[in-house]
């Protein structure tokens, strides 16, 4: 009996060598064997198969050019993309994987020193956001006789360490190939982790420069097409019954939809479940889009950057059903969000670690599979009609508030909310907005009207400045049929505008809306709220009398090959957005906004500790407020 007919499932991802054949061994270099293997990896979910790797991003150096570089050159069907920054490459790969609901990703390669450490930030972002990316950094010689090689970190206490060890804590699997045959046992582990919905994240396979080029007689079977089945794990029956009892007993349940809802393609199952039971739905950053913004049960964003309806209903809820959420502090409002003394949790999560958070009744399993079972098993349960009516009222009130913030009529500079409104209006339902750090994520979480589950792409697990353009590139590569709108602050833009060049090179068009507010509106506002008056957050000359720094963002974008436009009011912004839509090339629209005109917070709080002693009265006042607010933080232990 073949292993495929056994439905072999050694861990969460089943492995099926469905075209296993034996033949003569293949004499290939480590790098050639690696690429040949990657090309044969396929994932299958719900009976649909697709290749797992769509190519390789990277920047060559002496650490990979002769090994992996040569192998990639010999495999033109495994496309190589030259990027500008290795960190950006990892962001692009993670965004690509996120847009593909983790069913497909890109490989990233770098040389042995700074190129490899440049990937650490991207790897942390991918791992935190639970997105599969495969990193192939070159590594120092395994042979050692010529050490120290260029860019080698020498440590007096060990010869078994290189800068690639920095990737260990940010990788879900990490390995170093010191002998050619180690590839044979490492690669299945690489694939198991990357395709595991529970374990996925960055995976690092460090490739010593000399080992990459060594030839070896690899078993032919290593290069057979392999199908990795992404399972839809069902919940434990006993726990399901307990969860049903808990839901039936609840008078004020609330669903928190996280990224797992989208990755599991569970949005229809979620809507069916919510409608049948009359349970309102709030969304995290990663889960936004799980329910269309105008659905009567949609409360929109929850937490620090949440809507009043979501945060008030969370405060009162006696049952929180968290689906595919990590419960970050932005979601829990630093553990102040759930104030009902009797509140209990049911968590639906493919990852046991998340399912157990908040002492929840854990339904460990695939979001869609669990929701489908819950919907059937729950039968006729429905919340009080007044309760669902309350959700509808919040939804409509919030929409009116969004309309107000979209139309403030600010003069002479637009508010950020007005810019978001104009971009939202310029979007078709399937278009995608991409963002990561600054004040934009919070405003987008609150204000963006999402009409398609993949229409809202925020990297807010790591909130990494510089992700935006690189991430936009990954989104567009994943789905060229959609227009991609990257919204980016001037600070984030300056950190990594480089991938504009890659987007021009690849003909991967982005519309980049750059908000120029002369520095950090977000951290500046936070600084004021802790009594520190925005210290160190403005892009201005050393002598502030000289005013803001004269950075010409449009000229900068043009110099990188983009089409660039400036907008100064709603009319010119709408015209620029219209022009950008007709452009085939990446277009950057620079718009200056009023930094002080902020979208307020609603019914929430974020724990940012304030100095306990200070010579400044403003800090002392902020500390007193802080201590009061902090008392609302709760443990959820039963
Ligand atoms: C790589 C990185 N460094 C620092 C931070 C901390 N940080 C968060 S937002 C922000 C300012 C972002 O400025 P900008 O992009 O102009 O957005 P704005 O705050 O003006 O909306 C900083 C420094 C971060 N998130 N990422
Ligand atoms: Mg800014």
DSSP code per residue over 32-84: HHHHHHHHTEEEEETTEEEESEEEEEE---TTTTTTHHHHHHT-TTS-EEE-S
Which residues are placed with Cβ below 5 angstroms of ligand 2, an ion? 489-491, 517
* CB of 363 shorter than 6 A to ligand 1: no
Which ligand is nearest to the Cα of residue 440, counting in written order? 1
d(CA 624, CA 629) in angstroms, rounded, equals 9
* Distance (Å) from CA 268 to ligand 1 centroid: 35
Which residues is 112 bridged to in the sheet?
none
Q: Using CA atoms, how far apart are residues 433 and 482, in angstroms rounded to an integer?
A: 10
Mean pLDDT by 10 residues, the chain (638 residues): 34 40 86 98 98 98 97 98 98 99 98 97 98 98 97 96 98 98 98 98 98 98 98 97 98 98 98 98 98 98 98 98 98 98 98 98 98 95 97 98 97 97 98 98 98 98 98 98 98 98 98 98 96 96 95 98 98 98 98 95 97 97 97 97
Atom index in ligand 1 nearest the CA of residue 439 equals: 21
Both tokens of residue 120? 């650490």
Query: ∠ CA(44), CA(38), CA(70), 5° rounding?
Result: 160
Answer positive or negative: Cα dihedral of 156, 160, 165, 169: negative
Helix, strand, coil abundance in the chain, percent, nearest 5: 40, 20, 45
**C-alpha of residue 629 to centroid of ligand 1, in Å:** 25
Mutate which of 458, 520, 526 for ligand 1 pocket (most atoms within 8 A of beta carbon):
520
Q: Rounded to an integer, what distance in angstroms lies between the CA atom of residue 325 and that of residue 445?
A: 16
Give the DSSP letter of residue 220.
Answer: G
The response to whether residue 255 sits with its C-beta less than 6 Å from ligand 1 reads no
Instruction: Identify the pLDDT of residue 13.
Output: 39
Cβ(467)–Cβ(487) below 8 Å: no
Residue 344 C-alpha to ligand 1 middle, in angstroms? 35
**Tokens 């990663």, located at residue:** 286
Contact 284, 341 (CB under 8 A): no
In degrees, to the nearest 5, what angle opens at C-alpha 284 toward C-alphas 269 and 393?
75
- Render the burial of 480-498: b for 16+ CB within 10 Å, e for the rest: eebbbbbbbbbbbbbbbbb
- Note whether 78 and 106 are within 8 A (CB): no
Return the DSSP state at 209. T
Cα(37) to ligand 1 centroid in Å equals 40
For the Cβ of 416 lying below 6 angstroms from any atom of ligand 1, the answer is no
Atom of ligand 1 nearest to the CA of 463: 25
Cα–ligand 2 centroid distance for 497 (angstroms): 14
CB 326 within 8 A of CB 303: no
Task: Give me the half-sphere count of Cα atoms (radius 13 Å) on the Cβ side of residue 41.
Answer: 30
CA 472 to chain centre: 11
CA 526 / ligand 1 centre spacing (Å):
11
- Phi/psi for 217 (5° steps) reads -90, 90
Q: Which of 308, 284, 282, 300 is nearest to 601 (CA)?
A: 308
Q: How many angstroms separate the CA atoms of 550 and 547, rounded?
A: 9
Ligand 2 center to residue 288 CA distance, Å?
Answer: 23
Closest CA to 208 of 28, 26, 27, 31: 31
Cα dihedral 197, 198, 202, 206, rounded to 10, equals: -100
Q: Is 514 in the pocket of ligand 1 (CB under 6 A)?
A: no
E strand or H helix that includes residue 432: strand 432-435
Tokens of 567: 């907008």
> Distance between CA atoms of 607 and 627, rounded to whole angstroms?
10
**Is 277 within 8 Å of 371 (Cβ atoms)?**
no
Q: Which two tokens stand for residue 231?
A: 């399972």
Pocket test for ligand 1, best of 91, 304, 435, 438 (most atoms within 8 A of CB): 438
Strands 298-301 and 281-283: parallel
Q: Which atom of ligand 1 approaches the CA of 440 most closely?
A: 21
Helix, strand, or coil here: 14?
A: strand
Quote the CA–CA distance of 186 and 51 in Å, as a whole number: 19
Length of the chain: 638
CA–CA separation, 151 and 164 (whole Å): 11
- 29's CB contacts (< 8 A; 6+ apart) are 67, 70, 71, 212, 213, 214, 215, 216
Decide if 224 contacts 248 (C-beta within 8 A).
no
Element containing residue 105 per DSSP (H, E) = strand 105-110
Q: Return the closest-CA partner of residue 494 out of 599, 598, 590, 597.
A: 590
408 touches ligand 1 (CB under 6 Å): no
Beta bridge partners of 347: 322, 362
Residue 216, classed as helix, strand or coil, is strand
Report whether 33 contacts 27 (CB < 8 A): no
**Tokens 């277009």 found at:** 587
Distance 445 CA to ligand 1 centre (A): 16
Q: Which whole-number Å values give the CA distances from 424 to 279, 403, 405, 416, 456, in the listed order?
A: 27, 11, 13, 12, 11
Q: Which atom of ligand 1 is nearest to the CA of 466?
A: 1
Distance separating alpha carbons of residues 183 and 19, to the nearest angstrom? 20
Burial of 309 (0-12, 13-18, 19+ CB in 10 A): buried
Pocket test for ligand 1, best of 439, 522, 594 (most atoms within 8 A of CB): 522
Give the per-residue pLDDT at 3.
35
Task: Please tell me if the CB atom of residue 463 comes closer than 6 angstroms to any atom of ligand 1.
Answer: yes
Whether the Cβ atoms of residue 445 and residue 288 lie closer than 8 Å to each other: yes
**pLDDT given for residue 16 in this prediction:** 38
Maximum Cα interatomic distance, the chain, rounded to a whole number of Å? 80
C-alpha Rg value of the chain to the nearest Å: 25
Tokens of 198: 């529970």
β pairing state of 215-218 and 202-208: unpaired
Nearest ligand 1 atom, CA 495: 1
DSSP state of 599: P
Rounded Cα gap, residues 242 and 344, in angstroms: 12
How far does residue 537's CA lie from ligand 2's centre (Å)?
9
């Amino acid at each position: 009996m073949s292993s495929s007919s056994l439905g072999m499932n050694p861990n969460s991802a089943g492995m099926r060598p469905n075209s296993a054949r034996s033949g003569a061994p293949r004499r290939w270099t480590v790098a050639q064997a690696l690429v040949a293997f990657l090309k044969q990896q396929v994932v299958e979910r719900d009976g649909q198969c697709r290749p797992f790797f769509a190519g390789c991003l990277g920047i060559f150096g002496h650490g990979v050019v002769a090994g992996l570089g040569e192998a990639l050159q010999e495999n033109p069907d495994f496309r190589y993309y030259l990027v500008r920054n290795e960190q950006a490459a990892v962001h692009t790969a993670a965004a690509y994987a996120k847009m593909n609901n983790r069913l497909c990703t890109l490989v990233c390669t770098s040389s042995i020193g700074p190129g490899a450490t440049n990937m650490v930030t991207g790897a942390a972002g991918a791992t935190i956001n639970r997105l599969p990316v495969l990193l192939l950094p070159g590594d120092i010689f395994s042979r050692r006789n010529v050490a120290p090689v260029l860019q080698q970190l020498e440590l007096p206490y060990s010869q078994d360490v290189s800068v690639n060890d920095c990737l260990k804590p940010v990788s879900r699997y990490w390995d170093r190939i010191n002998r050619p045959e180690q590839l044979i046992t490492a690669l299945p582990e690489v694939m198991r982790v990357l395709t595991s919905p529970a374990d996925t994240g960055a995976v690092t396979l460090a490739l010593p420069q000399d080992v990459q080029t060594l030839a070896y007689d690899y078993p032919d079977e290593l290069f057979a097409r392999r199908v990795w089945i992404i399972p839809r794990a069902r919940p434990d029956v006993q726990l399901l019954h307990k969860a049903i009892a808990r839901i039936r007993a609840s008078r004020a349940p609330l669903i928190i939809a996280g990224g797992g809802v989208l990755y599991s393609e569970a949005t229809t199952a979620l809507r069916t479940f919510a409608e049948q039971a009359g349970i309102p739905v709030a969304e995290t950053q990663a889960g936004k889009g799980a329910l269309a913004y105008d659905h009567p049960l949609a409360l929109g964003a929850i937490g620090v950057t949440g809507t009043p309806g979501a945060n008030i209903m969370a405060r009162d809820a006696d049952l929180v059903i968290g689906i595919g959420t990590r419960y970050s502090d932005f979601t829990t409002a630093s553990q102040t969000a759930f104030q009902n003394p009797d509140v209990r949790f049911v968590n639906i999560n493919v990852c046991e670690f998340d399912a157990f958070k908040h002492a929840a009744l854990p339904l460990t399993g695939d979001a869609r599979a669990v929701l489908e079972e819950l919907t059937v098993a729950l039968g006729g349960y429905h919340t009080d009609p007044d309760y669902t009516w309350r959700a509808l009222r919040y939804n409509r009130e919030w929409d009116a508030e969004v309309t107000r913030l979209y139309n403030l009529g600010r003069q002479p500079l637009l508010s950020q909310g007005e810019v978001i409104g104009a971009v939202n209006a310029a979007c078709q339902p399937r278009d995608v907005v991409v963002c990561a750090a600054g004040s934009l994520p919070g405003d987008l979480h609150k204000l963006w009207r999402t009409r398609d589950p993949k229409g809202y792409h925020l990297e807010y697990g790591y909130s990494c400045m510089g992700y935006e353009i690189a991430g936009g590139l990954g989104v567009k590569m994943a789905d060229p049929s959609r227009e991609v709108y990257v919204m980016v602050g001037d600070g984030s833009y300056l950190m990594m505008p480089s991938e504009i060049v890659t987007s021009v090179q690849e003909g991967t068009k982005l519309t980049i809306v750059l908000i120029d507010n002369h520095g950090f509106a977000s951290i500046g506002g936070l600084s004021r709220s802790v009594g520190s008056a925005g210290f160190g957050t403005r892009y201005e000359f050393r002598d502030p009398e000289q005013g803001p720094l004269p950075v010409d963002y449009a000229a900068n974008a043009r110099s990188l090959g983009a089409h660039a436009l400036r907008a100064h009011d709603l009319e010119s912004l709408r015209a620029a957005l219209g022009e950008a839509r007709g452009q085939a090339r990446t277009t950057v629209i620079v718009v200056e906004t009023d930094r002080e005109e902020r979208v307020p917070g609603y019914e929430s709080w974020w724990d940012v500790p304030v100095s306990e002693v200070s010579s400044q009265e403003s800090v002392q006042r902020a500390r007193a407020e802080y201590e009061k607010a902090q008392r609302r933080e709760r443990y959820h232990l039963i």
